[in-house]
Chain A
């Protein structure tokens, strides 16, 4: 990396940069993948699983909540069976639209169904070192530096701490929040805060960011994603975190990563309903405990490689499950966090490029409100910094593709066509000068090389990442808030670490 890495979590004083405005995807047209009848079949199957097979829920707190609302709970086996009426009644309280807040209001995410907001990938465990190029375990500094890059990119609307702060093992999720809040003005979503104790500290940090409890509920600066344990299991620590978050008014979502053939049946439909049952059981719990709490649904299944058992994010037909997940979320009346950009590619290249685009476009056209996944390789585990620039370039192609075609009267330029006439050229016309200046060119693929042709986009991306980290200085967090976050972190390190 060209620049000196900054201290994670505590920014040094320098000239502040303006964070570029968000550019969400606003689709001009939509697609449907499943028919109404198919959605009804899936909903019916999910309810049948919840009622007959049940969900494993190894949290005494959650079991007590389920039992007190009429679920059939076996405290010995920790299996919960949910009658359909109970599920439907609970889910009727879940809000379809809500707002997620940011440090600056201009960067709030209004999940109103008209736009899709995207985040980085998260919780990677290895990094290609920015300076040495060597592969190593991820650190808090990496979270901070990619927060700066994410703050700069208009494609990134909210930040998932992109890798794990493994140099702060016991309280890594809180250090990831600290590194994020100090280096971006955007909304932060964690997917690693596990357990009520860590969740209490995280809510305290979010409260510092929001300023007061009313603002915390109206413009929550933090949200949480919890993975279920396929098949048909809820993670006890994650579930208890989610209950803490929901109690404070912070959005919580549940993700299923059921794997076709191992932790899910070997048919796509079977894996879908297994995953859907996990997510709906968790959302039902949240609505029973805190009716009306903002929740979201996230379906990111994989396909088991039949020879190796590996989780594949991008098998031929498997990616179709992501936009179907969007339709399932809307069927249950909640927003979605869609699976986008996942690639099994190991280096930036043809595979990563060709796998990334389709899931984003499909999910956007299916009406997804949010999605996460920019910036990591090797099935969401490896950070090689240029990848986030490459993914961002693809994001903007898709954003513009989804925006449709301007067919306003002036856009046809009939007067200009008439003036130029057959066999003429448009180079000299004022219309050409005016509109060519409005063109949005790729910063990666259209950089002229010395001699002829264009530079390698991966080289351009690597340079650009370095430039961003050296030159982009997001509005620093106010000093009192920095101190408060540091105080909370120290207390957590003392008590948990």
Chain B
């Protein structure tokens, strides 16, 4: 309510878990989650009509053997339906992505569970998404997971791009010049476009011996390189000082409570 009054965007996230905190049918879980989000959103609009809000539902499943929270069961259809529900209410959506149930990074499970997330949620027209970089159902950080999740994100970005179909990209003159049974290696058209014909992902990084590097090792190396070499534009010093002052005040006041 405080943030909404200040016009800071506020979102509400429902995490209905089928069978424990929500009905054991998916539509029922989405309905109860939607009711939670909408009730909170209505309150924000009563406090400050027109306050920027967003909608988010990250439904989960209770493991029937243990009650454990599961993000990626086999029958997770409708994972991306909450985005359409948000748009139905006329709000932007914070989509649920990544956050594999795999305990470790760079496993078959961590790759296969989240492989579709970025593409499918991109298709729904989601405005923003969280979840990259953590494993063990959003609780464990392996820095290399962020690189691996980014690789899946980049693939989805290319899938969703429009393919360019023009006389230049159809290359009929080049095809005519090569003819049946030839090859395109020596063509000027190949030299011109080959540099951008293949976007190299983390799985196609070449190691010193000429073979592809293990994707996890390549991702760990990339994290190290970024931390050593990438220096984002620093916050202005006056703002740093102001933040420090606010933090110190908060520490003093909240410690008393």
> Do A and B belong to a common assembly?
yes
Chain A residues near B (Cβ < 8 Å):
31, 33-34, 38, 41-42, 45, 48-49, 52-56, 79, 229, 231-233, 260-270, 273-274, 303-308, 312, 314-320, 324, 344-345, 348-358, 361-362, 390, 393-394, 396-398, 400-408, 410-414, 416-417, 425-427, 429, 431-432, 434-436, 439-442, 445-446, 448, 453-454, 456-458
Q: Which of B19, B62, B79, B154 has the most CB of A within 10 A?
A: B19
Q: Are B204 and A231 in contact (CB under 8 A)?
A: no
A-binding segment of B183-191, B235-243, B245-253? B183-191
Task: List, in ascending order, chain B residues with CB within 8 A of A402's CB.
Answer: 77
Task: List, in ascending order, chain A residues with CB within 8 A of B156's CB.
Answer: 358
The 10 closest A-B pairs by CB, nearest first: A353-B112, A354-B111, A270-B171, A413-B28, A353-B111, A56-B180, A435-B24, A316-B199, A232-B180, A413-B23
Task: List, in ascending order, chain B residues with CB within 8 A of A344's CB.
Answer: 203-204, 212
> Chain B 127-164, CB within 8 Å of chain A: the 1/0 string?
00000000000000000000010011011101101011
CB distance from B15 to the nearest CB of A (A): 14
Q: Count chain B residues whose beta carbon lies closer than 8 angstroms to a beta carbon of A.
A: 96
Q: Which residue of B lies closest to A303 (CB)?
A: B198
Q: Tell me whether B87 is interfacial, beta carbon within 8 Å.
A: no
Q: List 30 A-B contacts (CB under 8 A).
A: A38-B163, A232-B181, A261-B198, A265-B187, A266-B171, A267-B169, A267-B197, A268-B163, A316-B154, A316-B158, A349-B108, A353-B109, A353-B115, A357-B112, A361-B120, A397-B112, A400-B76, A401-B120, A405-B77, A406-B25, A416-B23, A426-B22, A432-B23, A432-B24, A439-B64, A440-B73, A441-B64, A446-B63, A448-B65, A457-B107
A308 to B28, CA, bound (A): 53
Q: Are B200 and A316 in contact (CB under 8 A)?
A: yes
CB distance from A25 to the nearest CB of B (A): 12
Task: List, in ascending order, chain A residues with CB within 8 A of B201's CB.
Answer: 315-316
Q: Which residue of B lies closest to A423 (CB)?
A: B21
Q: Which residue of B lies closest to A324 (CB)?
A: B163
Q: Tell me whether B72 is interfacial, beta carbon within 8 Å.
A: yes
A441 to B72, CA, bound (A): 10
Q: Are A41 and B210 in contact (CB under 8 A)?
A: no
Q: Are A350 and B181 in contact (CB under 8 A)?
A: no
> Chain B 195-217, CB within 8 Å of chain A: the 1/0 string?
10111110110100010100110
Q: Are B181 and A229 in contact (CB under 8 A)?
A: yes
Task: List, in ascending order, chain A residues with CB within 8 A of B203's CB.
Answer: 314, 344-345, 351, 355
A229 to B107, CA, bound (A): 37
- Knowing A265-B189, A270-B174, A353-B111, the reply to whether A231 touches B183 (Cβ < 8 A) is yes
Chain B, 81-118, CB within 8 A of any chain A CB: 81, 101-103, 106-116
Task: List, in ascending order, chain A residues with CB within 8 A of B189's CB.
Answer: 265-267, 270
A56 to B164, CA, bound (A): 28
A42 to B172, CA, bound (A): 11
Q: Are B23 and A426 in contact (CB under 8 A)?
A: yes
Q: Tell me whether B27 is interfacial, beta carbon within 8 Å.
A: yes
CB distance from A258 to the nearest CB of B (A): 9
CB distance from A300 to the nearest CB of B (A): 16
Task: List, in ascending order, chain B residues with CB within 8 A of A352's CB.
Answer: 108, 111
> Chain B 49-78, CB within 8 Å of chain A: the 1/0 string?
000000000000111111100101111111
Q: Which of A38, A350, A351 has the most CB of B within 10 A?
A: A350
Q: Tell me whether B225 is interfacial, beta carbon within 8 Å.
A: no
CB distance from B135 to the nearest CB of A (A): 11
Q: Which residue of B lies closest to A446 (CB)?
A: B63
Could you say which of B109, B180, B191 contacts A53, with CB atoms under 8 Å apart? Answer: B180
Task: List, in ascending order, chain A residues with CB within 8 A of B32's CB.
Answer: 417
Could you say which of A348, A349, A356 contacts B115, with CB atoms under 8 Å apart? Answer: A356
Chain B, 15-56, CB within 8 A of any chain A CB: 19-28, 30-32
Q: Are A265 and B73 in contact (CB under 8 A)?
A: no
Q: Are A319 and B115 in contact (CB under 8 A)?
A: no
Q: Are B76 and A350 in contact (CB under 8 A)?
A: no
Q: Which residue of B lies closest to A31 (CB)?
A: B123
Task: List, in ascending order, chain B residues with CB within 8 A of A403's CB.
Answer: 77
Q: A353-B115, A436-B64, A442-B73 are in contact. List 13 more A-B contacts (CB 8 A).
A: A266-B193, A268-B197, A270-B171, A273-B172, A303-B197, A306-B195, A350-B106, A405-B30, A406-B26, A406-B27, A413-B28, A445-B72, A445-B113
Q: Which residue of B lies closest to A78 (CB)?
A: B180
Q: Which residue of B lies closest to A461 (CB)?
A: B108
Q: Are A265 and B184 in contact (CB under 8 A)?
A: yes
Q: Are B108 and A353 in contact (CB under 8 A)?
A: yes
Q: Are B155 and A358 in contact (CB under 8 A)?
A: yes
